[in-house]
Amino acid sequence: MGKLNGKVAVITGGNSGIGLATARQFVAEGAYVFITGRRAAELEAAVREIGNNVTAIPSDVSKPADLDKLFATVKQAKGRIDILFANAGVAESAPLGEITEDHFDRHFGINVKGALFTVQKALPLLVDGASVILTGSIVGSKGVATDSVYSATKAALRSFARTWTSDLASRRIRVNVVSPGFIDTPGLRKLARTDGAGLEKAYAGRVPLGRVGQPGEIAKVVTFLASDDSGYIAGAEVFVDGGFAQV
């Protein structure tokens, strides 16, 4: 029996990278998973890769109407949510002095507004004792040049986890943050404009463990936070970064 046997999970941004790896891990542990993303072709490919116990729903978390459709579909199909992984996000660099209004609005619209309304609109379906996991980042704690807007969005998610833990205490809903470091994902490759070998060359020397992480390593930690194994963890931030933000 898997750690998530019989659970119903929703993963935003589940079509690639960390979200896709987590969807695979959840299904392997016995969950039924709904994944979302903005690109239909990637969603279809993700469903084929996962194989079973998964439904893909095209959705943009920055659009409340899309979230309404998402949760209406989940309600009709399963009637409840045991695990919510608010993972969808965008990361683009812009140094202070070159930040545009569009850059600011795009990041806060997807990363902050999107996460907030994903969780809020899911509340009627979340069972008492459910697990909510938010995808943060090491940059929410580190002062990385050119990443001020993105970093601020991730710091906001850390704050959400604390306040929502208090808001939802009466329902025993646990809200936690997983904060990845340098992980070999399509998003980081795009940001760094390189492939996996290039990521290792650029980042491995900055990490105490001496390498870039893999999406599956984040997925295992998210699965832990989603499962009863973490039943006494709430309002916490778990770094999965090879020690980068810790030393």
Range of the domain at 167: 8-185+216-237
Burial of residue 95 (CB within 10 Å: 0-12, 13-18, 19+) is exposed
Could you count the other beta carbons within 10 Å of the beta carbon of residue 55? 16
Burial of 49 (0-12, 13-18, 19+ CB in 10 A): exposed
What digits encode the pLDDT tens for the residues 162-172? 999 999 999 99
Tell me, yes or no, whether 165 lies in a domain: yes
Higher pLDDT: 191 or 110? It is: 110
**Distance (Å, rounded) from C-alpha 126 to C-alpha 175?**
12
* Residue 142: partners with Cβ closer than 8 Å, 6 or more residues away: 151, 244, 245
Percentage of residues in the chain having pLDDT higher than 90: 95
Q: Count Cα atoms within 13 angstroms, Cβ side, for 81.
A: 29
Please answer whether residues 208 and 239 qualify as being in contact, where contact means their C-beta atoms are separated by less than 8 angstroms: no
CATH no. for residue 134?
3.40.50.720
Tell me: pLDDT of 196 over 90. Answer: no
* Phi and psi torsions of 122, nearest 5°: -80, -15
Taking 90 as the threshold, does the pLDDT of residue 190 lie above it? no
Query: What's the distance, CA 143 to chain centroid?
Result: 21
Query: From the candidates 32, 150, 203, 232, which is the catalytic residue?
Result: 150
Residue 161 domain flag: yes
Does residue 200 lie in a domain region?
no
pLDDT exceeds 90 at position 192:
no
Joined tokens for residue 38 = 């903005």
Is the residue at 191 inside a domain? Answer: no
The pLDDT confidence band at residue 216, using thresholds 50, 70 and 90, is very high
Q: Tell which residue, 105, 191, 180, 192, has the closest CA to residue 136.
A: 180
CA distances from 172 to 124, 130, 167, 168 (A): 14, 7, 10, 6
What are the pLDDT digits (tens) for 95-129? Answer: 999 999 999 999 999 999 999 999 999 999 999 99
187 has pLDDT over 90 = no
Tokens of 167: 């808001």
pLDDT at position 93: 94
Distance CA 149, CA 138 (A): 14
Active-site annotation holds for 203: no
In a domain, 227, yes or no: yes
Does residue 209 lie within any of the structural domains?
Answer: no
Residue 203 falls inside a structural domain: no
Mean pLDDT for the chain overall: 97
Residue 104 lies in a domain: yes
Q: What is the pLDDT of residues 44-67, one digit of tens each?
A: 999 999 999 999 999 999 999 999
Tell the residue number behind the tokens 């090491």, with chain if given. Answer: 138
Number of structural domains in the chain: 1
What tens digit of pLDDT does each residue of 6-27 get? 999 999 999 999 999 999 999 9
